[in-house]
Amino acid sequence: LSCPESSLCPLFASPFFFLFLSLSTMPLCLSYFMVLPFFKDKKIFSIYGHYPVIRNTLRRKGWVEKKFSFLSKMVPNGEDECEEDNETIFQKSNNIHDVMSRLVKTKIPYFLWTIKRDVVDYHNLRGDQMLNHYGKTASFTTKIGLCMNMRSLPWYVPANPHSFFPRCYGLCSEGEKQEFLDDFRRTAASSILKWVVSHHNYSKNKSRAKKEENDEETTKDPQSNADEKKLIDLPGQLIEVACKVCEDYLGQLEHNDIDVSAESLKTLSEAEWKELVQQYYDLIHGDACISSSKSYLSQCQSILNKIMSVNPQSEIDGMRNIWILKPGAKSRGRDIVCMDRVEEIMKLVTPDNIPSKDNKWVVQKYIETPLLIYDTKFDIRQWFLVTDWNPLTIWFYKESYLRFSTQRFSLDSLDSSIHLCNNSIQKHFKNAKDRSPLLPCYNMWTSTKFQEYLKRRGQGHIWHNIIYPSMKKAITHTMKVAQDHVEARKNSFELYGADFILSKDFKPWLIEINSSPTMFPSTPVTAQLCAQVQEDTIKVVVDRKTDRNCDIGNFELLWRQPAVELPPFSGPNLFVEGFNIQKGRRHMTPITNISLRSPLPAGLVLRNRCFSSQQDQLSEQTTSPKQDVKMREDKGPPCLLLMPLKRGSGRTYKINSVYTKTLSNMEFPSFAIRRLENISHKAVFPRTKTTKLVDTDILSTASIASVLQSIRSLENPVFQPPRGSGNLCYYRRQDSCPLWGSVPLLCKIWGLRQSAAAPSLALIQSFKAE
């Protein structure tokens, strides 16, 4: 069984081969011959997660499964336990598929289906390996990514994102928080105008009902009169301020604020805004009314008509100003809440109340006027498949399903059981007793069932004329915006699940897009549709690669980006002209301004001499002072290496280096010596031996131009010499410095090497800084 694929073991050719086979080893041998064609056709797949439909579908199409070898990365118990479990499965199972899986465990899988992309090494996959995920899809599969990404839609598509995506803000920055606060206040002002119109309509209908009733039935009881007297009467000035805010908003939409200063754009002060919002709370949520609202009816109606003509979301705003607060990167409805008070929203997203890793909160306008079925809210889960990002290729699934809430719809309560239709949320609640019995107990409908419901109500054309085309358009627009952000790997694909909510006018509103949508058969509806969409996905991504005319199930091609024709390219006609630019070398300026104070004494004993003075040793000791100065100016003075220096008693010095950065030329360091009182020299420098000299006025140092030829410049010396220094410091005997008692120390500071080719600099026993 360990033989190469291209050849068979000679044992198989023996006529006695089958005599040695027992009944227990027969399936293993037969399986080996069965998997040989799969190696050649590359029909080996791996699955991580509970996807029995994918596994069975591929097996029916002649694929062999390789057990997921990367399973240990996701199991917290460790690698050894995982391998032991796999071996146990192989040993105990007599299934032919498990035996075949063991035979291909060293082979490369060419089809990978996982829950998350991070399970596999995405960037090291081979080009012929298929994966059901793309990289960098957070721009539309997370709430914060979709919120920010939809704002760029007009740059890609001539469409308004507010026409199908409820406006939202990321509360992770101060600028976004301020924009949300302004939106909340504007919505509160427009809600006041809506209250005026609705209150007038309600009063008109109420008066009609009173006329139809007799006098006895229309007589108010004392309790109702007492209730009306409890209402707080708000001034009509509230309506005037609200109208002014809405008119300024309309002016901004018409760009009338371009040449206006920021200060003049402020309609109200901060205190006035707080008073307006508080009166709005009393009017909508409390016991308050505006008795003089009838005189403002025409003005309010006119302004609202203008707002509805320019703001496509005016109809879904309602009057209660409800917003839905979501974590930026969580799924399955976790930590989602509905709120209608801006103070509570701002308090919830403060850094003190949330962990640092969950600070990307998104607040989105809640659809207050959803379409209801038997007084119950629902949403739609719609699948679509992306098989390529360049060119962008989208497949739309014809079937979808509806998810109902367990409670009847009401805006008086903001409980999750009423407003969140996600099955992972609703499964924790029981169906309300007052809910319609016409709704299923498992709270799901297929889209076919919903179409039948519309037909019974005489609205059967709405699905094909409004709902279905609008969902396709919203998905297409969203994917076009996200195309530049996704890591477009060839030979990959991904199935997504989009959630829509219908408004009263049957218009679908995109809420979010989920990667790796759940395929768990939790209800009879999902058991049917989830299995069907998985099988159809395999048809599109596997069967269609070899047969373009194959059956693709309920998928239909939604969008395929047309090929972009590149401009003509003539490579041989391209050429480059020019020449290299070489950096010039910098030469060191010779040192010529050296002057000597006095000649060296004839009786001075030397230990060593520089190579510049060895040739004229006798003449230098007998030359007169004038001749010596002239000769040193011509040839350069000798560098003398004398005995160790004598330390001055009772005084200690510290040497500070003053330097600049050097390039390629060696320059001399300069030192500033300052006297330090009350510091013991024992703690600073070691004591050196002293030698008595005859003359007290000796030259300590001189020019070393002749030594520069053998000096090596360090890249980062301890003391870097200053730029432009041409002379050494020279000292006299009056104050001696103990630092210079050792020649190797000076060589280390200046970056010199003590060798025959590079002699050391000379030091005199005592010297003084000049």
Residues in Cβ contact with 595 at an 8 Å cutoff, skipping those fewer than 6 apart? 629, 633
- Pairing state of beta strands 508-515 and 494-502? antiparallel
What stretch of H or E contains 210?
A: helix 174-212
Residues 97 and 199 in one domain: no
Name the domain boundary from 523, 542, 560: 560
Which tokens hold the place of 693?
A: 């000299």
Residue 436, strand partner residues: none
Q: Is residue 585 part of a domain?
A: no
Q: Of 721, 720, 716, 717, which is closest to residue 591 (Cα–Cα)? A: 721
Residue 445, strand partner residues: 402
Residues 155 and 179 in one domain: no
Q: Is residue 456 part of a domain?
A: yes
pLDDT of residue 747: 46
In this structure, the number of other CB atoms found within 10 A of the CB of residue 342 comes to 20
- Report whether 486 contacts 135 (CB < 8 A): yes
* Burial zone of 315 (CB within 10 Å; 0-12 exposed, 13-18 middle, 19+ buried): middle
Q: Is residue 181 part of a domain?
A: yes
Residue 509, strand partner residues: 501
Residues 367 and 511 in one domain: yes
Residues 726 and 629 in one domain: yes
| 451 — pLDDT class (breaks 50, 70, 90) | very high
Q: Is residue 306 part of a domain?
A: yes
Query: 108-120 b/e with 16+ CB inside 10 Å = b?
Result: ebbbbbbbebebb
Which tokens hold the place of 221?
A: 């009881």
Using alpha carbons, list the distances in angstroms from residue 367 to 167, 371, 510, 521. 10, 10, 11, 29
Residues 120 and 67 in one domain: yes
One-character DSSP codes across 384-445: EEEEEETTEEEEEEEEEEEEE-SS---SS---HHHH---HHHHTTSPPPTTS-TTS-TT-EE
Which range has the worst mean pLDDT, 248-257, 292-301, 353-362, 523-532? 353-362
- Pairing state of beta strands 652-658 and 670-676? antiparallel
pLDDT of residue 119: 86
Q: What is the mean pLDDT of residues 194-218?
A: 66
Which tokens hold the place of 156?
A: 């890609």
Q: How far is CA 411 from the centre of its chain?
A: 36
Domain that residue 48 falls in: 10-131
Give the gyration radius of the chain's Cα atoms: 45
Q: Whole-angstrom Cα distance, residue 313 to residue 315? A: 5
| 151 — pLDDT class (breaks 50, 70, 90) | very high
Residues 444 and 369 in one domain: yes
Task: Tell me the range of 10-24, 543-557, 564-578 where mean pLDDT is highest.
Answer: 543-557
Q: What is the mean pLDDT of residues 537-561?
A: 95
Q: Is residue 588 part of a domain?
A: no
Residues 501 and 384 in one domain: yes
- Report whether 131 contacts 121 (CB < 8 A): no
When divided into structural domains, the chain yields a total of: 4
Q: Is residue 668 part of a domain?
A: yes
Which tokens hold the place of 155?
A: 């740059």
Which tokens hold the place of 623?
A: 């030359």
Residues 346 and 460 in one domain: yes
The better pLDDT of the pair 740, 129 is held by: 129
Residues in Cβ contact with 698 at an 8 Å cutoff, skipping those fewer than 6 apart? 598, 600, 601, 604, 732, 733, 764, 765, 766
Using alpha carbons, list the distances in angstroms from residue 688 to 172, 742, 749, 759. 69, 8, 19, 22
The better pLDDT of the pair 259, 84 is held by: 259
**What pTM, to 2 d.p., does this model score?**
0.67
Share above pLDDT 90 across residues of the chain, in percent, rounded to a whole number: 46
Cis ω for the linkage preceding 391 (within 30 of 0):
yes
- Pairing state of beta strands 323-327 and 337-339? antiparallel
- Report whether 701 contacts 760 (CB < 8 A): no
In this structure, the number of other CB atoms found within 10 A of the CB of residue 323 comes to 23
Task: Tell me the range of 165-179, 356-370, 567-581, 665-679 where mean pLDDT is highest.
Answer: 165-179
Query: 188-197 b/e with 16+ CB inside 10 Å = b?
Result: bbbbbbbbbb
Q: Whole-angstrom Cα distance, residue 442 to residue 63? A: 36
Q: Is residue 572 part of a domain?
A: no
Which tokens hold the place of 572?
A: 């041989």
Residues 299 and 357 in one domain: no
Which tens digit of pLDDT belongs to each residue from 668-701?
Answer: 454 444 444 444 444 444 444 444 444 444 444 4
Residue 101 DSSP one-character state: H
Q: What is the mean pLDDT of residues 18-46?
A: 59
Which tens digit of pLDDT belongs to each residue from 82-110?
Answer: 333 333 333 344 477 777 778 788 889 99
3-state secondary structure of 501: strand
Residue 487 DSSP one-character state: B
pLDDT at residue 317 tops 80 = yes
Residues 426 and 541 in one domain: yes
The better pLDDT of the pair 78, 134 is held by: 134
The better pLDDT of the pair 489, 79 is held by: 489
Q: Is residue 5 part of a domain?
A: no
Q: How far is CA 235 from the centre of its chain?
A: 50
Q: What is the CATH number of the domain that holds 434?
A: 3.30.470.20
| 31 — pLDDT class (breaks 50, 70, 90) | low
Length of the chain: 770
Residues 380 and 462 in one domain: yes
Residues 26 and 149 in one domain: no
Beta strands, E only, 505-563: 508-515, 555-560
Which tokens hold the place of 719?
A: 């003391």
Write phi, then psi, for 185 (nearest 5 degrees).
Answer: -70, -40
In this structure, the number of other CB atoms found within 10 A of the CB of residue 273 comes to 19
The better pLDDT of the pair 317, 751 is held by: 317
Which tokens hold the place of 305?
A: 């008509």
Which range has the worst mean pLDDT, 301-305, 506-510, 668-672? 668-672
Residues in Cβ contact with 255 at an 8 Å cutoff, skipping those fewer than 6 apart? none
- Report whether 639 contacts 613 (CB < 8 A): yes
pLDDT at residue 272 tops 70 = yes
- Report whether 179 contacts 169 (CB < 8 A): yes
pLDDT of residue 67: 84
pLDDT at residue 755 tops 50 = no
- Report whether 319 contacts 194 (CB < 8 A): yes
